[in-house]
Structure 1
Amino acid sequence: MDVEGIDQEAMDCLCRYTWKGNIRELENVVQYMISMSADSPSGVMGVNCLPNQILENKTDDCPRVQEPAQQDISLREMEQQRIRQALARYGDTTEGKKRAAKELGISLATLYRRLNQSSPPVK
């Protein structure tokens, strides 16, 4: 089964979660969600695919956005958002990119590779 994306309600839960780890923690959660989405005929991961630790974290730090279901976000887009957020925090200088990569738990080379995969290219 191919995963097409994630629904807004599940994305809201991910936004509200207090991420104590780095990008690897997010990657592990996404891998878990993919394995749990095998029963989803639409290919869109929902809250039923989330692990319990995400569902049990009921903080309101990230405001819930009411958007139509067609605004589902792909996994690649979610990753690109996290990269853009890290770059916004640290800047797009070489030093800023090094700090962003460290925060995300990826190498600088991987960060550049992911930036080149986005469209339009991010410098």
Structure 2
Amino acid sequence: MADKIKFALALVLLVAGVVGFYLLSEQAMVLRVLSVLAGVALCAAVAWKTESGQRFAVFANETVAETKKVAWPSRKETFQTTGIVFAFVVIMALFLWVTDKTLEWALYDLILGWKKS
């Protein structure tokens, strides 16, 4: 029950930040944005103290640990893979262009007889 109250309070703080943005319409944009950021920060702080927030923190830490285990490609491998992708795209574009022009010629010139002048 306490978690539900904390979540409700977090949502109220978030809404208060957004409402503050509109209530401060005559003020500088910096104050309006700070109002929203304060609402988001307070919302996150309250939500962080709930059981779900703590589970999320554990999940986030485990995610960072798993990301560190990934064998990221080197700069050379990245450029080689990117080059292969670009080459494939160019080859496919040429293939589709040739196919399109062949079908255009076959349909319009041979079958329908609409020769271009």
TM bucket, shorter chain: under 0.3
Task: Tell me which protein shows more helix as a share of its residues.
Answer: 2
TM-score when normalising by structure 1: 0.21
The structure with more radius of gyration:
2
